[in-house]
Amino acid sequence: MAWHRHASDTRVRSFAVLPLSAPETRAKLESLRRQPAAVVVWNAPSEHRQVVVNGGSYESMRAEALGALAELGVRTRGVWADIASASHPADRSARRPVVVALAAAAEMSAALQPVIDAGIRVQTVTTPAMALGSLARLRRPFSPPASIEAYVALEEKLTCIALARGGVLVAARELAWGYIDERWPGHRQRDDITKRLGDAITDFIASVAGSATDVGQVCVCGGMPELRSMTGPLMERFGVVVEPLDSLFGIDAARLPEPVDEFRERGAALRLAWAAAADWPSPINLLRFRKRQASKRLLARVAVATGMAAGLVLGWRIERSQTWRSMGTTPAANLPVRAQTASMLAPPAAMKLAPPAAMNPAAHEDRSPPTTQRLTAVSPPAPTPVAAITPLEAPQPAPPRARLPLLPGSALPFDAVLGTILYSPGRRLAIVDGGIVAPGDEVRGARILEITPDAVLLRDGQGRLRRLELGVGVR
């Protein structure tokens, strides 16, 4: 679905409903090469929760939110995860609620691969639940105040339910059934779908500490034909307005794509695609953390390269200044004109690699060509009497500081997220839990002892040696 913002409505330029794997699908994707895209991925195991975390940076709040979910038994490894604030932007309290979305990384990567192979620039990746959350946010002016809204997407084999309050996603759940009965070819009966959906909404609200009386509105979209036929029974069960999202709300009706009649007929089925496109940029983007990590690694490499370049330039300048200073000690007035000219024109690098013969008379006597043998007649300056020089007392070296013995082989693993290591002779830095640290800093109650090219050694509060390696602790 391609889009273009036009005033307050979305102008849809083209649309297509295609099978997952077919020649026409590949051709359509290739026609969108180099175009930005927001992708909604179905059928990937996912979780959507609200948790309360301490206010801080994006990385710290995300890490705390994932830690809280891990304590609840939610799988937080091998997933793509993102967070979004669930409070008002003006809220600056110490503890803030955030919406957390997690989806299995393997399934998400497999679903996106055909899009990436077609050369489409994937900017945002969301789940059906987050797309329903975007739909709730776009419809916020029509939301009943201080009540829960249930948004439902009914597709052939899957159903997604999202609960929102005030345009903010509270929780979501995907159900492994749709409007097509896989045991018996054909559509499910309307009464069967209504009962299944009513029971699922009631149980879901109860699981998040609520009751069916808290529901103020139910909105239904998806590819199910005759969507309006099931709104009556749901309205009788919950006693609230049940609205089928099959209208052209938010879409520029004056400039619809061809064929216009088909687009109007498929309005409810295209609602999630429209929500993901219109709610741009999306508050939840499962690629956000990966992109931020890639940007940090790139900036770290640039910083290391810049530091090395600055060191090389500084070293070259020091060598150059020392070379010219050493040339200043040679009595140029006693040298022949040709030798003076050669020494003035020789570049610093040449001076360093092959000094002129006049600067080493002993070597000159052995290897000078006959035409320059007269240089051997040049008398070197009289040496300064040693007695005239008062030697300074050499400073005593400071005793080496005692260091704790580091035994990497006996180090225990450390629970933290190691992003990358910046290691050079004059710089030892690492990115741990999204922050830049150095030896002596504290991370999760442990003090960093040493940073090596491939690991970080720490000493915890109990005096035990800990080790955090690259590729370990990355969520």
CATH number, domain containing residue 129 = 3.30.420.40
What CATH number does residue 453 fall under?
Answer: 2.30.30
- Cα 271 from chain centre: 28
Instruction: Report the distance separating Cα 289 and Cα 82, nearest Å.
Output: 7
Would you say residue 382 lies in a domain?
no
CA-closest candidate to residue 47, choices 138, 160, 123, 124: 160
Q: What is the pLDDT of residue 66?
A: 94
Instruction: Report the distance separating Cα 356 and Cα 339, nearest Å.
Output: 8
Q: Which of 16-25, 187-196, 298-307 is most confident?
A: 187-196
Would you say residue 339 lies in a domain?
no
Average of pLDDT values for 66-76? 93
**Residue 122 DSSP SS3:** strand
Q: How many domains does the chain have?
A: 2
- What is the chain's mean pLDDT, rounded? 78
**C-beta of residue 245 within 8 angstroms of C-beta of residue 271:** yes
Would you say residue 335 lies in a domain?
no
Confidence of residue 282 (pLDDT cuts 50, 70, 90): confident
Confidence of residue 167 (pLDDT cuts 50, 70, 90): confident
Confidence of residue 314 (pLDDT cuts 50, 70, 90): low
As a whole number of angstroms, the longest Cα–Cα distance in the chain is: 118
Q: What is the DSSP letter of 393?
A: P
Residue 29 domain boundaries: 2-292
Task: Give whole-number Cα distances, 442 to 6, 8, 269, 438, 450, in Å.
Answer: 51, 49, 52, 9, 12
Q: Between 475 and 92, whose confidence is greater?
A: 92
Would you say residue 399 lies in a domain?
no
| pLDDT over 60 (residue 331) | no
Would you say residue 323 lies in a domain?
no
**Token output for 439:** 């030896």
Among 249, 271, 292, the domain boundary falls at: 292
Would you say residue 455 lies in a domain?
yes
Would you say residue 63 lies in a domain?
yes
Confidence of residue 300 (pLDDT cuts 50, 70, 90): low
What residue type is assigned to position 164 of the chain? A
Q: Rounded to two decimals, what is the model's pTM?
A: 0.61
My answer on whether 119 and 252 are in the same domain is yes
My answer on whether 45 and 170 are in the same domain is yes
Q: What's the sign of the alpha-carbon dihedral 101, 107, 108, 109?
A: positive
Instruction: Report the distance separating Cα 427 and Cα 450, nearest Å.
Output: 12
Instruction: Report the distance separating Cα 446 and Cα 462, nearest Å.
Output: 9
Q: What is the pLDDT of residue 299?
A: 64
Confidence of residue 2 (pLDDT cuts 50, 70, 90): very low
Among 292, 307, 327, the domain boundary falls at: 292
CA-closest candidate to residue 275, choices 164, 395, 158, 361: 164
Confidence of residue 404 (pLDDT cuts 50, 70, 90): very low
Among 270, 292, 314, the domain boundary falls at: 292
Would you say residue 417 lies in a domain?
yes
Look at 12-21, 194-203, 267-276 and tell me which has the smallest mean pLDDT.
12-21
Average of pLDDT values for 69-75? 92
Phi, psi at 170, each rounded to 5°? -100, -50
Q: What is the pLDDT of residue 209?
A: 64
Confidence of residue 163 (pLDDT cuts 50, 70, 90): very high
